[in-house]
């Protein structure tokens, strides 16, 4: 199973996906998905208050955006984490 971390740590996968994301068809598909997640003005179901319904709609919207943002992030390689010695080269290791 490929995880986001393993995908983004692979230069081959991220660069290939970044190229795919540059295509107008893919950009249009992402835009269509974002639009699909937008809250719609729909009356709450019977027995559901406005606040609860609005909360549900906004949670759904946030979920769509998080998923799409995660998809787009697959085209950006993960930078290696700096070690303590990279940040402070004179640091002495603790015993």
Question: For the segment 16-49, what is each residue's pLDDT rounded down to a tens digit?
Answer: 999 999 999 999 999 999 888 887 788 889 999 9
- Inter-residue contact 64 to 37 (CB < 8 Å): yes
- Report if residue 91 sits inside a domain: no
- Report if residue 25 sits inside a domain: yes
- Report if residue 23 sits inside a domain: yes
- Report if residue 89 sits inside a domain: no
Between CA 47 and CA 74 the distance in angstroms is 41
Task: Note down the domain range covering 64.
Answer: 4-78
- Report if residue 90 sits inside a domain: no
- Report if residue 36 sits inside a domain: yes
Structural domain tally of the chain? Answer: 1
The whole-number pLDDT of residue 68 equals 94
Question: For the segment 41-50, what is each residue's pLDDT rounded down to a tens digit?
Answer: 888 899 999 8
- Report if residue 92 sits inside a domain: no
- Report if residue 22 sits inside a domain: yes
């Amino acid at each position: 199973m490929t995880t986001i971390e393993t995908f983004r740590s692979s230069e081959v996968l991220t660069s290939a996906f970044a190229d795919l994301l540059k295509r107008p068809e893919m950009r249009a598909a992402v835009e269509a998905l974002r639009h699909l997640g937008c809250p719609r003005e729909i009356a709450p179901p019977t027995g559901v208050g406005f606040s609860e319904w609005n909360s549900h709609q906004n949670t759904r919207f946030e979920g769509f955006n998080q998923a799409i943002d995660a998809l787009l992030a697959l085209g950006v390689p993960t930078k290696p984490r700096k070690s303590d010695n990279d940040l402070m080269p004179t640091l002495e290791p603790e015993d």
